[in-house]
Structure 1
Amino acid sequence: MKLPAGNRALSPHTGYTRDHWIAAADGLLAAAWRWATPGGARLDLPGPPSGSGVRSDGLEGFARTFLAAAFRVAGEEGKDPHGWLERYAGGIEAGTRTPGRDDAESWPEIRDHPVAGQPMVESASVALGLRLTRPWLWDHLAPAVQDRVEAWLRGALRHVPAPNNWYLFPFTVAGFLSSVGRADAETAQARDRALELLEGWYRGDGWYADGDGRAFDHYNGWALHLYPVLDAHLAGEATRFGPRLREHLESFGLWFGGDGAPLHFGRSLTYRFAAASAVGLGAVTGDTPLRPGVSRRLLSGALRYFADRGAVDEHGLLSLGWHGPHAPTVQHYSGPGSPYWASKAFVCLLAPPEHPLWTATEELAPSESADTVLALPGPGLLLQATRDDGVVRLHNHGSDAVRPHEAESPAGENPHYGRFAYSTRTGPTARDNPADNHFAVVVADVGSVRRRIHPLGAGHGEGWGWAGSWHHPVFGRGPVPGLRVESVTVVRGPDELRVHRVLGAPPGATVEQTGWATAPGESVLRPLAGWTGQDEVRAPHGTAFVTWVSLPRLTADVHGTAVFVALAVLGTDTGDPVAAVTEEGAEIGWPDGFSVRIRFGPLQVSSVR
């Protein structure tokens, strides 16, 4: 991407302005269009195909880049110096001429989620792009082409979505059709069903679960908030969704490190700076507690973070990965066009040049302003940020991405959710390597994984906080009857106290605790109570941040009930706490006289001075 010179007077932290965002959009679009089909209906970007096949992938490349073009042109009130909308109009006409036909241009038909359903996802981007650019694109299509587009889009209303945020795709399609005078009972039903489900998924603290389970991650911002809030904004309506976005941004501002990195947590991380889309949306609609200079710091920090670290390859394309290509970051449904859901961050361009988002002086990000601890009981998450290094850690005691019907099924771990801690500077180790930030019970030489997470609560006080949960350790051959692990994380400054109580451990069992996945010497894992062994294990597959890592590890024998306490630090400075344990809990004290008391069954956590 060719970006203009930085403006450090207006943006002292990133140098980025609105012109940088426009240049980034134009650069990404220009690179992607080099791979267009002759009629422009598909962008067949280079790379391995997704499970949906190359035709669906080509539609994905078209639809997701169309979203970037739509935000860019709508934000300029129709000014389109590069003629992006003319290209997309031609592609829409060619793609809808004979849907489902096996040729170079025809878009695949929209079908049920289990049967090549990916085009339903892309229909939402097509519909939203058309809604944003209606005066300059849709209104100039021939009536017959408009009818063809409607017929193709209605496939999203007539087929079964995945049981999660996918219901917002027919919702978005229906919103567009309604906005152009094509509403009917079918569009109303799609909208009502999505809003009904969304209401049931709301868990408080500005957080929605992504479906009926307890999956909380970046989809909360770039999907579950974005579609309904933007829909209402474009319709000029006030809804309950705006205040929920505001509440979400109360905590979500802390999901970005001082270097601009979003928390490396959850699935679809190859969407990269899409993580900042909720920040931009809040600034555009006014549903935000963040000052304009803080919002721009978060937005531009995220964009610059990836631009500076190789996210754009030698062809000018966004690769499948995090910084550069990184296979373990990528889900099976991702293809070469998938990273362009990053286009959602360009929602910020709907704020015109004179908007305070662009005219206010850039301010510090929340993670740079002060040491901060924030508990989110709704999703069961605990955030910990340290100002000196700008690193944010997320301690996970509530998000598991295990669907309700899966229960405690014996299956492999999910590195994107199953670990106890994530950060803006480290990624989880790959599935086939030793797991970082993991507590395992080992029975007959088989280590357990953590799948369904049952939250026990979360809270914070002045300068400290905690979150707790329990889980049944899961083994490939099935569960061990009566075996249960209760866990609490207590944070203060850079310190993380990891407290685990094991109940029902069979004879011969052992336990293991690993720390952060870093280069040797860049993190601490110190035994405080219960642990008898200490070593390091290698993870040669590395992470999205480093090509090779080692993990500090603690070990011990366990039988029946026992409590284990360890100090973990992402860094090297610690507050030197000490711990005393019983079978009922633990008390942890620091040299300055501050201490925390933990009692299990039912869980109680309190500070003592």
Structure 2
Amino acid sequence: MNIQNFTSQNKVWMLCAALIIQVATGYAQTRQKVNDRTYNLAMLDKVARPVILNLANDELKKNMVVALADAPDDRDTRSKVTYLEAFGRTLSGIAPWLNLEGGQPQEIKLRDQYRQWTLKAIANAVNPKAHDYLKWDGPQPLVDGAFFALGLIRCPWLWEHLDDTSKQRVITVLKTTRNTMPSYNNWLLFSGMVEAFFCKYDLEYDAVRMEFGIREFMEHWYAGDGLFNDGPHFKLDYYNSYVIQPFLSTILDIFNNKRKTYSAYTTLLDKTTKRYAEIQEMLINSDGSFAATGRSIAYRGGAFQHLANMALQKRLPASLTPAQVRGALTAVVHRTLDAPGTFTDKGWLNLGLCGHQTGLADYYITTGSLYLCTNIFLPLGLSETDEYWSAPAQPWSAVKIWSGQNAKVDHALDLDDKK
């Protein structure tokens, strides 16, 4: 064979191979961005459906499989409040998606179904004559009444389409939570969130309950490097994401929209929330795992509510692209919800972080508590054409660093730095 012809043919084959690789890569990227949204939506549906559908049918208490921690503090009380935990937390996570319009026909159909289920679920949850009338009085209902209120804040569509009788009942049950004195920690923000709901929808609200939490965190409990103490003391857990920063930013946004009282805090909070988003993204390992530190670790992907919320609100720092955040959060969903034993044979979440691990459940954890994990799905409130979903896949920090790629060094936030 002529060596020159062989070389020419070889070049042609190399060009063809390169073209095939390029096309395949493009296809893989397209498939990836489609699969990311499709997968996240499928998992949201898998987690949320048992809660929302059963409550819509007035059968949540009848059908929900309830598990408690190995050593609960009060078995009887925990068994009663678990249903509101499940509903309030699920609603807070799926609310942005429920509020979205448009999309693929299949997604629109699913969303419309969930909207109708959720309206019925709310009506049953606040109706004293319904079998599934939930427990709204007592300490724990303040927590999950606040998550319920957050869900209504994140989805104005629900409040606008709720019937007048149910609206009045919602107001009544949320006012009931005022009977609980919040602990001197992140619980101040639960009281504040309930009032933020009233404030947003031009209802009578207690400004002091909103202001107290804002002032304590912003003036006394900032710990540094984008993190807040949980009360007077710092704790190495995920409560800055479970509650503190998402709640604080929501309450402050609503309050400033009405009064502008604390607009001076906006710049500070913008810096701290962006820095904590950077930290959260770096905490996600290349396989989607993350350090199981601190209490409430059984909330699974709820540990990254803050990062998901920053993506939803388009407040990510310049150092993070939406695509890399999408990849990181989707990896967490895979790691925490795909594991064998994550769900019961009837579709309810089991206690644990990666599968069924009862030893990871704190004394106050019940089946209902686990549904805070739905908050990792907040970016589904962005349309499929948004950069978050449409941009080609990009590696997140851990993937880049631990695969030997170049990356930028990390530095702590210095609020005195004027640069």
Q: What band does the TM-score fall into relative to the shorter chain?
A: 0.7 to 0.9
Separation in structure 2 between the aligned mates of residue 69 and residue 80 of structure 1, nearest angstrom: 15
User: 1:128–1:89: structure 2 CA closer, same or farther, 3 Å change rule?
Assistant: same
Q: Which residue of 2 aligns with 1:286?
A: 314
Q: Which residue of 1 aligns with 2:354?
A: 323
**Residue pair 1:97, 1:106 contacting (<8 A) in 2 also:** yes
Residue 181 of structure 1: which of 198, 202, 220 is its match?
A: 202
1:177 partner letter:
F
**Residue pair 1:69, 1:85 contacting (<8 A) in 2 also:** no
Matching of residue 203 in structure 1 with residue 231 in structure 2? no
Q: Map Cα deviations across residues 177-228 of structure 1 (whole Å, 9 max, x no partner).
A: 11111033x2x11110110121222111110111211213211123111112
Q: Map Cα deviations across residues 291-321 of structure 1 (whole Å, 9 max, x no partner).
A: 1121111111111112332233433332110
User: 1:55–1:249: structure 2 CA closer, same or farther, 3 Å change rule?
Assistant: same
Report 1 or 2 for greater relative contact order, CA contacts < 8 Å, sequence distance ≥ 6: 2
Identity %: 21
Q: Map Cα deviations across residues 262-303 of structure 1 (whole Å, 9 max, x no partner).
A: 221111111111122222222222322211121111111111
Residue 59 of structure 1: which of 84, 90, 98 is its match?
A: 84
User: 1:106–1:351: structure 2 CA closer, same or farther, 3 Å change rule?
Assistant: same
Residue 19 of structure 1: which of 26, 38, 44 is its match?
A: 38
Q: Which residue of 1 aligns with 2:9?
A: none
Q: Which residue of 2 aligns with 1:299?
A: 329
**Unpaired segments of 5 or more residues in structure 2?**
1-26, 258-262, 413-419
User: 1:36–1:148: structure 2 CA closer, same or farther, 3 Å change rule?
Assistant: closer
Q: Secondary structure at the match of 2:29?
A: coil
Residue 104 of structure 1: which of 131, 134, 142 is its match?
A: 131
Q: Secondary structure at the match of 2:65?
A: coil
Q: Which residue of 2 aligns with 1:87?
A: 117
Q: Map Cα deviations across residues 510-530 of structure 1 (whole Å, 9 max, x no partner).
A: xxxxxxxxxxxxxxxxxxxxx
**Residue pair 2:227, 2:240 contacting (<8 A) in 1 also:** yes
Q: Highest Rg: 1 or 2?
A: 1
**Unpaired segments of 5 or more residues in structure 1?**
1-6, 112-116, 371-385, 389-461, 466-609
Q: Which residue of 2 aligns with 1:39?
A: 58
Separation in structure 2 between the aligned mates of residue 173 and residue 59 of structure 1, nearest angstrom: 15
User: What is the deviation of 1:133?
Assistant: 2.5
Q: Which residue of 2 aligns with 1:448?
A: none
Matching of residue 215 in structure 1 with residue 235 in structure 2? yes
Q: Which residue of 2 aligns with 1:409?
A: none
Q: Map Cα deviations across residues 530-584 of structure 1 (whole Å, 9 max, x no partner).
A: xxxxxxxxxxxxxxxxxxxxxxxxxxxxxxxxxxxxxxxxxxxxxxxxxxxxxxx
Separation in structure 2 between the aligned mates of residue 89 and residue 164 of structure 1, nearest angstrom: 32
Separation in structure 1 between the aligned mates of residue 109 and residue 172 of structure 2, nearest angstrom: 28
More strand by percentage: 1
Q: Map Cα deviations across residues 494-518 of structure 1 (whole Å, 9 max, x no partner).
A: xxxxxxxxxxxxxxxxxxxxxxxxx
The RMSD of aligned alpha carbons is 3.1
More helix by percentage: 2
Q: Secondary structure at the match of 1:157?
A: helix
**Residue pair 1:270, 1:339 contacting (<8 A) in 2 also:** yes
Map 1:372-521 to 2 at 5 A: 386-387=402-403
Separation in structure 1 between the aligned mates of residue 230 and residue 109 of structure 2, nearest angstrom: 36
Q: Map Cα deviations across residues 322-363 of structure 1 (whole Å, 9 max, x no partner).
A: 111112211111111111000111211222222211111221
User: What is the deviation of 1:37?
Assistant: 8.0
1:56 partner letter:
V
2:176 partner letter:
G
Separation in structure 1 between the aligned mates of residue 137 and residue 60 of structure 2, nearest angstrom: 16
User: What is the deviation of 1:71?
Assistant: 2.6
Q: Which residue of 2 aligns with 1:155?
A: 176
Separation in structure 2 between the aligned mates of residue 75 and residue 236 of structure 1, nearest angstrom: 24
User: What is the deviation of 1:40?
Assistant: 5.2
Separation in structure 2 between the aligned mates of residue 296 and residue 179 of structure 1, nearest angstrom: 29
User: What is the deviation of 1:250?
Assistant: 2.6
User: 1:44–1:157: structure 2 CA closer, same or farther, 3 Å change rule?
Assistant: farther
- Report the number of matched residues: 361
User: What is the deviation of 1:138?
Assistant: 1.9
Map 1:261-272 to 2 at 5 A: 261-272=289-300
Separation in structure 2 between the aligned mates of residue 335 and residue 205 of structure 1, nearest angstrom: 33
Q: Which residue of 2 aligns with 1:352?
A: 383
Q: Which residue of 2 aligns with 1:365?
A: 396
**Residue pair 1:89, 1:141 contacting (<8 A) in 2 also:** yes
Q: Secondary structure at the match of 1:314?
A: coil
Q: Which residue of 1 aligns with 2:146?
A: 124
Q: Map Cα deviations across residues 352-395 of structure 1 (whole Å, 9 max, x no partner).
A: 2222111112211211222xxxxxxxxxxxxxxx557xxxxxxx
Q: Map Cα deviations across residues 408-429 of structure 1 (whole Å, 9 max, x no partner).
A: xxxxxxxxxxxxxxxxxxxxxx
2:181 partner letter:
V
**Residue pair 1:313, 1:324 contacting (<8 A) in 2 also:** no
**Residue pair 1:294, 1:363 contacting (<8 A) in 2 also:** yes
User: 1:264–1:8: structure 2 CA closer, same or farther, 3 Å change rule?
Assistant: farther
Separation in structure 2 between the aligned mates of residue 171 and residue 35 of structure 1, nearest angstrom: 29
Map 1:243-282 to 2 at 5 A: 243-282=271-310
Q: Which residue of 2 aligns with 1:30?
A: 49
**Residue pair 1:68, 1:343 contacting (<8 A) in 2 also:** yes
Separation in structure 2 between the aligned mates of residue 344 and residue 316 of structure 1, nearest angstrom: 18
Separation in structure 1 between the aligned mates of residue 391 and residue 208 of structure 2, nearest angstrom: 42
